[in-house]
Amino acid sequence: MKTRGVGIIGLGAIGRQLCRALDSGIPGLHLVGALARDRAKAEAFLGTLAGKPPFLSLDDLIASSDMLIEASTQAHLQEIAPKALGAGKDVVVLSCGALLGRTDWIALAESTGARIHVPSAAIAGLDGVKGARVGVVQSVTMETRKPPRGLAGAPWIEQQKIDLDALTSETLVFEGPAVEACRAFPANVNVLAALSLAGIGPERTTTRVYAVPGLTMNRHRIQVVGEFGRLTIEVENVPSENPRTGKLSYFSTIAFLRDLGATLRIGT
């Protein structure tokens, strides 16, 4: 059986786990190579894998792969998406906040036969949200609670001069529509972007972001109200070695990759 070649872009907490999973074996897929900012560190990591996949340039990775997985940043995706989609290659997007408003990328993918995939990542229930959207949905709200260090460096925190180290109790640091939150916290609210893309859009999806001293998990609470009834989803994620990223992010992506070749697929 012919397998599809997968290229990984970004070797942080998520990218390394995806490489390990592909190296261990996922039916129908094989790891072609990877790309990261620090070549020396990337090559050292890739050398620990049984398949010894190479470090490749973006152009070479696109040429060699059938599917690219972006596990980098929203800024990097601005370069990756047009090149990969223009070459007719499928792209799995983890920094999905960058997809908001990019109808041009969708049009490009349609013109070349490529597909854009967004895994559920660090939240659950997107199948229910997509089902609800078939009918009338009045509101979608998401509350996110993270340890202060998980919000450090976000543009909103810097602009508002919020001293995260000075917080002693749960503090609301942002409230507003998803489209604004994704610009304010580009590395923190990709789950919100996925929710808004699955549901009623980033302008109508609202969010509240809290910094909670002493919190050891990333918490997300989603509430959807519509013609179908009411859906409430609560997730508490154990952070990976990167405090901004929960382990469920890469578990979910690995599950997505396994589903690609599955005979039986469960869920919407």
Edge-first strand order for the sheet with 67-70 is 29-35, 4-9, 67-70, 90-93, 116-117
122 contact partners, CB below 8 Å, separation of at least 6: 190, 191, 218, 220, 235, 237, 245, 246, 248, 249, 252
Any catalytic annotation for residue 76? no
Q: Do domains 4-120+249-260 and 126-244 have the same CATH topology?
A: no
pLDDT in tens, the chain (268 residues): 689 999 999 999 999 999 999 999 999 999 999 999 999 999 999 999 999 999 999 999 999 999 999 999 999 999 999 999 999 999 999 999 899 999 999 999 999 999 999 998 888 899 999 999 999 999 999 999 999 998 999 999 999 999 999 999 999 999 999 999 989 998 888 889 999 999 999 999 999 999 999 998 889 999 999 999 999 999 998 877 776 677 888 999 999 999 998 888 887 6
- pTM of structure: 0.89
Q: How many CB atoms lie within 10 A of CB 174?
A: 22
What is 126-244's CATH number, 3.20.190.10, 3.30.360.10, 3.40.1280.10, 3.40.50.720?
3.30.360.10
Closest CA to 144 of 169, 118, 168, 178: 178
pLDDT per residue over 65-81, tens digit each?
Answer: 999 999 999 999 999 99
State the CATH architecture for 4-120+249-260: 3-Layer(aba) Sandwich (3.40)
Q: Two tokens at 249?
A: 């992010």
Query: Rounded to an integer, what distance in angstroms lies between the CA atom of residue 145 and that of residue 50?
Result: 38
* Active-site annotation holder among 30, 76, 117, 220: 220
Structural domain boundaries in the chain: 4-120+249-260, 126-244
